[in-house]
Amino acid sequence: MNSSNKMTIDTPAKLDSWRDALTKKIDPLKKRVNICVGTGCAAKGSRRIHELFCEAQKNSEIEIEISTKCVGCHGYCENGPIVVVQPGSIFYQKVEEPDVEEIISETLVKGEVIKRLLFRDPETEKTARVAEEIPFYKSQKRIVLAQNGIIEPTSIDEYILSGGYLALSKALKSMEPKEIIEEVKKSGLRGRGGGGFPTGRKWESCHKAKGSIRYVICNGDEGDPGAFMDRSIMEGNPHSVIEGMIIGAYAIGSSQGYIYVRNEYPLAVQHLKLSLSQAKEYGFLGDKILGSSFSFDIRINRGGGAFVCGESTALMASLEGKSGEPRAKYVHTVEYGLNEKPTNLNNVETWANIPHIINKGSGWYASIGTKGSKGTKVFSLVGNVVNTGLVEIPMGMTLRQIINDIGGGIKKGKALKAVQTGGPSGGCIPEEYLDTPVDFDELTKLGSMMGSGGMIVMDEDTCMVNVARYFLEFLKKESCGKCTPCREGVSQMLYILERITKGEGDPDDLDTLKKLAHLLEGASLCALGKTAAYPVLSTIRYFEAEYKEHILDKRCTAKICKGLFAYEIDAKLCRGCRICKKNCPSDAITGEKKVAHVIDQEKCTKCGACFEKCPFNSVLKV
């Protein structure tokens, strides 16, 4: 449904009238096809599938009328592309181009369900016709993601039909700014960007700050490896973020907002730009919004690709055209933020929660979650888990429930070794703590953190020393270098970890790593440095035996660290097919055809090509 309104909605009454008019246009019996074109499904060809549906509708002699639309991410990225047929909410997964014609002829024309495209439980072999029957969705509680996969993100009319801008209308019509702030405070909403600071308290401080100019900012600079929560919200339901910002700006007393978006999110930027244009056309942005005395506008700024710009003060420096470097935390941004003016910054997910809280009340929101962590949290569930994707769960659900009930357990029936939460600065939690409720406080007790919502699952073949090395390598590259503890401390810790993974570790290394970690935590300027040591401290805390194995025994049981294992060819299994020799980039393999081959250890770079390509499993890690 494309926006066709040319009339400014300048009063709450006109908004209600427009919603009623849109509702009357809906034919509940009309055949509709919703095709996910979020980044995940688009990468698997869903945009071409959408084109084929449109072409078939134009070229065929189908007598029924079909509405085909592009929707945002459903979250079940593992099984995309996803196509949902209405009425009936028939959930088709892993749809390919040849399936389009069959969906049209069988489902849309005849009303028949194509069973091979339905979800099939690998254990019971039972199929699921609708999303609610699929284990991946059963345990979720969707608030922020509720409209993803349902509404067309490029249509403001569909957002309005789903209840969009009702919260803004309510706030401007019947609530004072202080009432809104109090409602957010009572809801218990905490910032979803990583720190978990109470949102209402932050708003209140900014509202009370001296000065007539205030700013609100949406942090969409999502830089954690494997994280795509904010991206999917901005792509799939951008108006929810915009509405939340407008309400927040009204409560705080701001007339200018900014959305700072990661540069690698072109689709999110495209949808946000279109949505801002639509919001202005309809009168939800600009002067005297909905007939009130409140005026507000939003601009989009694209980040420069620096992970550190996810930190609030570095982000504001970037917005000002300066280098994205953080500043000391004793200067509060709610008092001296962007351009030295009071500034309120929240991340994408936090803003998207606001319309729900205003519409349904703080009591409703506070009834979800745990004592100290209210509401739901969106996570990107990735790694060695069967069902990877985007999940939204009530605070307090355990790690075990998330990994097993939603994620489907570990791939290939292997054992779980650890789950890392909180992004590159988060900690690694072992299997014995899987029954821990997921909330801000409980994860912190385990030496990890909520972060923005990354959750990486690791199986028994993972080397935890190498995991710590990987995240330190990432953080070293992303450190702005402004403060010495972070700049030098992370580099030194990485240097020690690299020596350990090469078999050159020293018994004193663990103590040195711990000392450096505590130095970073206490002396770094921003959260990047203060939490950079979490992967190291948590892996030493829970997997110290693995470190000692690397240092004392010069052995990596997982056979991941290149300095602690070698590739050898089992002469009894080798058929002399020469495949390994052809794929070796360093010419380290010798041998005649049909004769067992040999690897020259001095030439071998341990790239693993021979191990991966051998059809007879004769290449061994020893």
Quick one: pLDDT at residue 62? 66
Quick one: pLDDT at residue 2? 47
Encoded tokens for 419? 């789950």
What's the CA gap between 341 and 338, in Å, rounded?
6
Q: What is the pLDDT of residues 515-565, one digit of tens each?
A: 999 999 889 988 888 888 999 999 999 999 999 999 999 999 999 998 899
What is the number of alpha carbons within 13 Å of residue 261 lying toward its C-beta? Answer: 26
Quick one: pLDDT at residue 134? 94
pTM of the model: 0.93
Please state, as a whole number, how many other Cβ atoms lie within 10 Å of the Cβ of residue 489: 25
What's the CA gap between 17 and 197, in Å, rounded?
39
What's the CA gap between 279 and 285, in Å, rounded?
6
- What are the strands, taking DSSP E only, across 198-311? 215-220, 256-261, 297-302
According to DSSP, the residues that pair with 459 across neighbouring strands are 416
**Tokens 């300066």 -> residue:** 322
Q: What is the DSSP letter of 255?
A: S
Quick one: pLDDT at residue 452? 82
166-174 vs 238-252: helix crossing angle, rounded to 10 = 10
Minimal CA–CA distance to 346: which of 142, 456, 172, 184?
184
Quick one: pLDDT at residue 223? 83
What's the CA gap between 274 and 167, in Å, rounded?
21
Q: Which residues contact 398 (CB under 8 A, 6 or more apart)?
A: 434, 435, 436, 437, 438
3-state secondary structure of 19: helix
What's the CA gap between 346 and 193, in Å, rounded?
7
Phi, psi at 101, each rounded to 5°: -60, -40
How many residues in total does the chain contain?
A: 622
Contact 528, 475 (CB under 8 A): yes
3-state secondary structure of 193: coil
Quick one: pLDDT at residue 71? 96
Low-confidence ranges of the chain (pLDDT < 70): 1-7, 60-63
Does the N-terminal peptide bond of residue 507 adopt cis geometry, omega within 30 degrees of 0? no
Quick one: pLDDT at residue 66? 80
Quick one: pLDDT at residue 7? 63
